[in-house]
């Protein structure tokens, strides 16, 4: 998934820091889940507010158990990757600014603004899950939940565009 974020970032002409941020945001976005395990989305969404509670627990556990294991000089950057991980953002005058879902203004495609395409990272995450489901089905695993999950991901993400990329082309390749 991180490799997809890297490749798509390069394809869009992203600046060096944006490519770096998108790759590492993709690489680390699930890191807080190592403490709570990967609770599948249908379970997280089964009770209203449960997703927010789980996210809060993951943040607290990450801050207490993982962050102290990392060098202090990495903390700010790791938190940048993980907080609002699926939101487009830039840093201006040492403040994180969220950008619209349509994308990051081309003016901010400069290393000094530390741009991160959270929406692109989310699309790559969903594309990776779709590819995994499609390949599992192709190899003979035809569980009804897997088939429904593949269809649901396609319906939700295949028709989106992020950072100027039409994701339908990539989803359709694995239909």
pLDDT tens digits, the chain, 175 residues: what are they? 999 999 999 999 999 999 999 999 999 998 888 877 666 665 656 678 887 888 888 889 899 999 999 999 999 999 999 999 999 999 999 999 999 988 899 999 999 999 999 999 999 999 999 999 999 999 999 898 889 999 999 999 999 998 889 999 999 999 8
In terms of Cβ atoms closer than 10 Å to its own Cβ (0-12, 13-18, 19+), residue 141 is exposed
Distance separating alpha carbons of residues 158 and 168, to the nearest angstrom: 4
Distance separating alpha carbons of residues 62 and 19, to the nearest angstrom: 25
Check residue 24 and give its pLDDT.
98
Check residue 175 and give its pLDDT.
83
Check residue 96 and give its pLDDT.
97
Check residue 48 and give its pLDDT.
81
Q: Classify the phi-psi angles of 37: left when phi > 0, otherwise alpha if psi is within -120 to 50, otherwise beta.
A: left
Check residue 38 and give its pLDDT.
64
Check residue 45 and give its pLDDT.
63
In terms of Cβ atoms closer than 10 Å to its own Cβ (0-12, 13-18, 19+), residue 121 is buried
* DSSP letter, residue 63: I
Check residue 58 and give its pLDDT.
87
Locate the DSSP E strands across the chain.
Answer: 88-92, 95-98, 116-117, 161-162, 165-166
Check residue 83 and give its pLDDT.
93
């Amino acid at each position: 998934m991180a490799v997809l974020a890297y490749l798509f970032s390069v394809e869009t002409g992203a600046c060096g820091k944006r490519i770096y941020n998108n790759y590492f945001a993709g690489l680390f976005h699930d890191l807080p889940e190592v403490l709570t395990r990967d609770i599948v989305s249908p379970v997280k969404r089964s009770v209203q507010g449960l997703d927010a509670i789980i996210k809060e627990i993951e943040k607290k556990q990450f801050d207490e158990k993982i962050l102290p294991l990392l060098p202090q000089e990495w903390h700010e950057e790791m938190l940048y990757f993980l907080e609002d991980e699926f939101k487009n953002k830039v840093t201006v005058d040492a403040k994180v600014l969220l950008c619209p879902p349509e994308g990051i203004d081309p003016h901010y495609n400069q290393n000094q603004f530390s741009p991160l395409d959270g929406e692109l990272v989310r699309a790559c995450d969903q594309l990776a899950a779709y590819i995994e489901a499609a390949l599992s089905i192709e190899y003979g695993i035809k569980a009804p939940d897997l088939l429904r999950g593949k269809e649901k991901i396609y319906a939700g993400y295949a028709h989106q565009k992020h950072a100027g990329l039409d994701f339908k082309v990539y989803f359709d390749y694995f239909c």
